Amino acid sequence: MTDHRSLPLSDLSEDEVMFRDQVKAFAQERVKPLVHKMDEEAKMPRELVKECFDLGIMGIEIPDDHGGAGATFFMSILAIEELARVDASVAVLVDVQNTLCNNAILRWGTPEQQKKYFPKLAAEWVGAYALSEAGSGSDAFALACKADDKGDHWELTGRKLWITNGNEADLFIVIATVDPSKGYKGITAFLVERSFPGFSVGKKEDKLGIRASSTCELILEGCKVPKDNVLGEIGKGYKIAIETLNEGRIGIGAQMVGVAQGALDHAVKYSQERVQFGKPIAEFQAVNFLLAEMAMQVEAARLLTYNAARLRDVGQPFIKEAAMSKLFASRTAEFVTSKAIEVYGGYGLTKEYPVEKYFRDQKVGQIYEGTSNMQLMVIAKQLFGKM
């Protein structure tokens, strides 16, 4: 299939191009044949998860002395985009692992925590990030999950909802409050292993899109967590949550760019194959103008996302750019996937053809890791210097 992206290769380093092409080949050769079955069964094969580890895309920023690639955040964004171009479920598995879990431990983990968990996260352990609850969605810090100090350990009690990678994960970053009366100043992050007493994974959601990505309830019933497993400082979990999600939004932007690009790829190809009135529909101005508009939107979303990732890597302010990336890319994905269905006509509505899945997969981009309205709020506050 022709690559319709116009970003000059000179804008990527030789290593970045090589890495991107490796992930692209993996997505085409190993992921693509499984996409339909994974969507139908709402399950990701464990062997495919293992192959993601073998390729090295589950520990992209983990230092090489801990078994990771020791690469950049931007490399993670490239991987997420190329995977989402084929399947958004695999992309979100890799996204959460890198931009949320590994990233949080890289920034706030103690040397002992990094030594303990990074080799596992690079080689075999899937990570998950547990913030949301029934009563705390956009109001992320209205937490009911409680952490009690038991002297020689912490005891966590509560429930978490909408946790990506819940079925596969071995390590969870759980955000709880040590003192509800302190508001956000009581919020603390904990590293919780799946095997800890009192921890279990509950219901798996049956979703519209990203169906092979597990989204689960977590149940903590007096879950015993060692004192050494506090991530960062007690009462500073709000900072970890906010700053990690700011970076994670760039990952969602990359997911949505990939989804939009994948839908565009299929629409361009189909428009050259479908014949009406004696010629391919690509030769009708209404169709090729529509495809041009779609391509322009995808490229703009990609450049917004790449810009945010580059700013993050060089230590420049990026909060506004990250919010813009997620907001614009998710809107672009909705537009492009919808129009791709129109290019296919009636066939676009059937599961026999690929574009209806791209349309279903894109919708979550406007919801998780901060809704579209939350991104608008972040952008506006940045404009007025309130954040």
**How far, CA to CA in Å, does 176 sit from each of 43, 202, 327?**
29, 18, 28
97 within 8 A of 45, measured Cβ to Cβ = no
Q: In 3-state terms, what secondary structure has residue 156? A: strand
- The CA-atom distances, in angstroms, between 10 and each of 81, 283, 284, 309 are 18, 32, 34, 17
Catalytic residue at 369? Answer: yes
Range 192-219 burial, b when 16+ CB lie within 10 A, else e: bbbebeebebeeebebebbbbbbbbbbb
How far from 271 is each of 85, 279, 289, 367, CA to CA, in Å? 19, 10, 12, 31
What whole-number distance in Å separates Cα of residue 304 and Cα of residue 331? 13
Out of 168, 217, 321, 369, the active site residue is 369
Roughly how many angstroms between the first and final C-alpha of the chain, as a whole number?
44
Three-state DSSP state, 163: strand
Q: Does an H or E element contain 52, and which?
A: helix 46-55
**Catalytic center residues:** 369
